[in-house]
Amino acid sequence: MKQLLKKLTSAYGPSGNEETVREIIKKEIEGCVDEIKTDSLGNLIAVKKGSGSKVMIAAHMDQIGLVVTYIDDTGFLRFAPAGGFDVTDLIDRKVIFGNGIVGVVSYENEIKEIKDVTVNNMYIDIGAKDREDALTKVQEGDAAVYYTTFGGNGDRVTSCALDNRSSCAVLIETIKNLKDSPHEIYFVFTVQEELGSRGASTAAFAIEPSACIAVDVTDTGDTPKSQPMSVKLGEGPAIKVFDQSVMVHPAIKNIMIDEAEKLGVPYQMEVLKAGGTDTGAVALSKSGVPSGCLSIPCRYMHSDSEMVDISDMEGGVKLLTGLLNDGIRI
């Protein structure tokens, strides 16, 4: 699992540019499913065929990024965020573009207090001498992502892009472990979740599943003086109840709880005050889809050094595999 996660998080894949991640996943699951296709928006859809109802399992491939909006005469890059950033997480962080160009994010020297830093007075420094030099390396419209090394101690690993490559790894391992199911299962590795769950919305519209479980990361409440939240690292995957995009279908939530208890998988209940996942987009597709979410606890989300516990991911694989083997019946 750890080596797979390292491979996935090392891949460049901001929203709208998920091609490299998609190819890695495709190679990992070839031979384990009956059909693999890429739809017009870029979602990777892997199908395990069956005679039962359609069930969609989703995890997004994209990571947050910075899109170059302007290159000034001195060669510094202005940018817009593609996804949710706290500007303090960006200061003096390294970023990398798809062509391998590395830069540093900083802010204008006349800003005296951190509270006054905004995206509008920040820039990316790629070491260019002037605009002409910068244009030989980067173009307006190019996207950069955090550039950090994968590492960790024991089961606790840190990296950029654990949101949501950790969940992609969970889906990959579930595909490899799943032997049989009463369903026809659509494993969907979605695009552009960080920009509003766009890939999940179009995929669900086309597939018309009878039920869906999305897999994503969630915040934790286990760091010093953190916002109160019951989810902790290393105490099992979380079963979502609510976030700003969805009130989870009670039948799906209860099925997930029952399966976790049956399998002896430690689990936690997630009530997220802010944010959302692909779950919300799928739930509102067409006439509605009963949807739930399996969440991987993650510290320092949307930073360059997110942290997850491998045991939570392994518990997620066991729970998801059990759910699909036993069947999701509404």
Residues annotated as catalytic are 193
Do the bridges between strand 54-60 and strand 184-190 make them parallel or antiparallel, or are there none, so unpaired?
A: parallel
The C-alpha torsion from 293 through 297 and 302 to 303, rounded to 10°, is -170
The C-alpha torsion from 202 through 205 and 207 to 211, rounded to 10°, is 110
Chain centroid to Cα 85, Å, comes to: 14
Closest CA to 211 of 293, 328, 68, 94: 328
HSE value, Cβ hemisphere, 13 Å, CA-based, for 179: 3
Burial group, residue 152, by CB count within 10 angstroms (0-12, 13-18, 19+): middle
Cβ(31)–Cβ(23) below 8 Å: no
Phi, psi of 98 (to 5 degrees): -60, -25
Closest CA to 253 of 261, 262, 241, 243: 241
What single DSSP character describes residue 304? Answer: S
Helix ranges (H only) for the chain are 2-9, 19-29, 87-90, 131-135, 162-177, 198-207, 250-263, 278-283, 310-326
Q: Which two tokens stand for residue 75?
A: 């060669």
Q: Which two tokens stand for residue 19?
A: 């091609």
Q: Which two tokens stand for residue 295?
A: 């969440």
